[in-house]
Amino acid sequence: MRKITLNKNFTLFILGRLVSLIGSGIQMIAIPLYILDKTGSGTAMGIFTLLGILPRLLAAPFSGVIGDRFNRKNIMVLTDFIRGILIILLYILSFRNMLQLIILFIIQAIVSVLDGFFGAATSAMLPDIVSEEQLRRANSILGTVNSFSMIIGPILGGVIYGFFGISLVFLFNGISFILSAISEMFIEYNTLFKTKEKLSAKSFFIEFKEGLVFIVKKRSLKILFTFAMFTNFLIAPLLQVVEPYILRQIVKMSAQQYGLVQTFFTIGMLLGNIALISFFSKMKNKPLMIQGLAVEIALLFIFTYFIFPDVLTRFSTLQFFWLTAAIYFTFGFFNVQVNVPISTNLQLMTPSDIRSRVFSTLEVFSQIMVPLGAVIYGFLLDHIAAHFIFLFATILTSLITFVFLLIAPKEVYEPKTT
């Protein structure tokens, strides 16, 4: 397969992602506000959030198989067009005051499924349109776009919804998806894999199994995936469940202060990706990952120390806000030094004709670990002090990281291309 450098194809790929991600960011903040304004129901909010995640996970096995059977560019274009049309339908209904909550939920579920097909095609396609030497840089640029969108999208969402209402939010997001599809149409991508038999229940299970078998048999991929899965299980829900409890219930931060802390993390990721492109571009993956992991673990221990009651009482809420903001910014900055090499290496380890299935399988397992961890942490919070939970999770993460660095073969850091 012919590889190309960061040229027109990658530029169109990134432009499409930028436009659609900003639109999604606008809608991500506006729809929850709309639901709360209309219903005041936490249950309705929970259902909407669940419909944004669960259908995508359920569709992952299918999206992986489809992503390895058909032209990935066409999948991206089609899913973007359909998502755009569906969201413009929401605009028409809301503009005419005909939008009902059940319709919003149904379309959210459909869009979530389409997100899965789009994601499987996108993640598998990137290594096909940039050279192997430029892949880490390409992932850093993609991370920069994602972080920028996560900052600007919610800000615009709050402003547009606050001043113009939900109708304009839907219109803006619908148009963003269609513009993204138009941009992707001009990508030169004609990769076709070996002709396979007609898709049936039997062939689907055979092809899905191929992705699982590939993960199990490839030791370096299995080690990398296992490490990512366990750290995701320990850290993601720790920051989503225990940390908000500490900052809101114990430290007594305001909602605005808590929101700003999260923003500092995203800004750290944005600048971390820029630094990875500019200053760390020639640094090898292994020292880069070790550096990132070491700083992340050190920051977890620092935060754990400061939330112990005897230490915490020395700070005012405002002082602790700035301390937490600095920790989160630094954590986000160094987090990309771990995530980008891992993403790049997973892409390089996996042959293109099976990549969608492998990535969709990895997504299912990694995403399932987060709610599982959230349930466990939520239970522990009712029985154990939050600072002890943070300490235990940090120590366990440190041990898992040490074992990973000890047993990881060279291919985990510098994979042989497939």
pLDDT digit string (tens) for 62-111? 888 888 888 888 999 999 999 999 999 999 999 999 989 899 999 989 99
Q: What was the pLDDT predicted at 227?
A: 86
Is the confidence at residue 219, as pLDDT, over 80?
Answer: yes
Is residue 200 in some structural domain? no
Q: Which two tokens stand for residue 50?
A: 């669940």
Same domain, 177 and 222: no
Q: Using CA atoms, how far apart are residues 101 and 31, in angstroms rounded to an integer? A: 11
Range of the domain at 337: 211-413
Is residue 162 in some structural domain? yes
Is residue 379 in some structural domain? yes
Residue 125's domain is classified under what CATH number?
Answer: 1.20.1250.20
Same domain, 107 and 231: no
Is residue 418 in some structural domain? no
Same domain, 403 and 278: yes
Count other C-beta atoms under 10 Å from residue 168's C-beta.
Answer: 17
Q: Could you say which DSSP state residue 133 is in? A: G
Classify 165 in phi/psi space as left (phi over 0), alpha (psi -120 to 50) or beta.
left
Same domain, 379 and 242: yes
**Exposure on the CB side of residue 144, measured as CA atoms within 13 A:** 16
From residue 119, alpha-carbon distances to 25, 360, 384 in Å are 16, 8, 38
Q: Which of 2-11, 30-39, 92-101, 128-137 shows the lowest mean pLDDT across its residues?
A: 2-11
Q: What are phi and psi of 280, to 5 degrees?
A: -110, 15
CB 372 within 8 A of CB 334: no
Same domain, 25 and 70: yes
Same domain, 242 and 334: yes
Same domain, 247 and 170: no
Q: What is the pLDDT of residues 352-387, one digit of tens each?
A: 888 888 888 887 777 777 777 878 888 888 888 989
Same domain, 127 and 254: no
CB 14 within 8 A of CB 149: no
End position of a domain, from candidates 187, 219, 242: 187
Q: Using CA atoms, how far apart are residues 13 and 9, in angstroms rounded to an integer? A: 6
Same domain, 240 and 166: no
Same domain, 55 and 133: yes
Across the chain, what does the average pLDDT equal? 85
Same domain, 228 and 126: no
- Mean pLDDT, range 40-69, rounded to an integer: 80
- DSSP states of 17-68: HHHHHHHHHHHHHHHHHHHHHHH--HHHHHHHHHHHHHHHHHHHHHHHHHHH
Number of domains in the chain: 2
Same domain, 183 and 215: no
> Rounded to a whole number, what is the distance in angstroms from the first to the last CA of the chain?
11
Q: Using CA atoms, how far apart are residues 410 and 413, in angstroms rounded to an integer? A: 6
Count other C-beta atoms under 10 Å from residue 205's C-beta.
Answer: 12
Is residue 122 in some structural domain? yes
